[in-house]
């Protein structure tokens, strides 16, 4: 995809290919997977990866090789299968655990707010 000559260690193994290596480098495989998974174009993907902070909590986002809490995640609606934006993995997981349900999220906010008001 990137048409850049890279060392062999930048490619994953593929037992079905003649040279035993994938045709795309690891970076391009990650991009290709996101494009297919979220049904987006390269330009849209490039705009998403420019987002530097979680769109919910504001945490500075980093690559996948850093602590999970700061990992950049492309957030999407499972029902409509559309991309909503970029979040840290914690916020993305929180939305998922609360079933992407606005009423449940509001109830969680009210619950936390009641506790905070006591102190």
pLDDT digits (tens, 9 = 90+) for 31-72: 888 888 889 999 999 999 999 999 999 999 986 665 666 888
Q: Please give the pLDDT value at position 66.
A: 59
This prediction has a pTM of 0.74
Q: Please give the pLDDT value at position 32.
A: 86
**Do residues 82 and 44 share a domain?**
yes
**Do residues 51 and 32 share a domain?**
no
**Do residues 19 and 55 share a domain?**
no
Q: Is residue 2 one of the residues assigned to a domain? A: no
Q: Is residue 29 one of the residues assigned to a domain? A: yes
Domain that holds residue 76: 40-117
**Do residues 48 and 99 share a domain?**
yes
Report the alpha-carbon distance of residue 44 to residue 112 in Å, rounded. 35
**Do residues 69 and 22 share a domain?**
no
Alpha-helical segments (H) within 14-101:
26-38, 42-49, 89-97
């Amino acid at each position: 995809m990137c048409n850049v000559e890279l060392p062999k260690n930048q490619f994953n193994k593929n037992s079905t290919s003649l040279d035993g290596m994938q045709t795309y480098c690891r970076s391009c495989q990650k991009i290709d997977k996101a494009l297919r998974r979220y049904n987006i174009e390269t330009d849209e993907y490039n705009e998403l990866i420019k987002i530097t902070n979680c769109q919910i909590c504001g945490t500075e986002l980093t690559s996948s090789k850093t602590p999970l809490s700061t990992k950049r995640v492309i957030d999407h609606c499972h029902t409509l299968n559309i991309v909503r934006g970029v979040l840290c993995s914690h916020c993305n997981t929180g939305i998922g655990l609360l079933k992407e349900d606005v009423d449940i999220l509001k109830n969680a906010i009210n619950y936390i707010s009641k506790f905070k008001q006591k102190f």
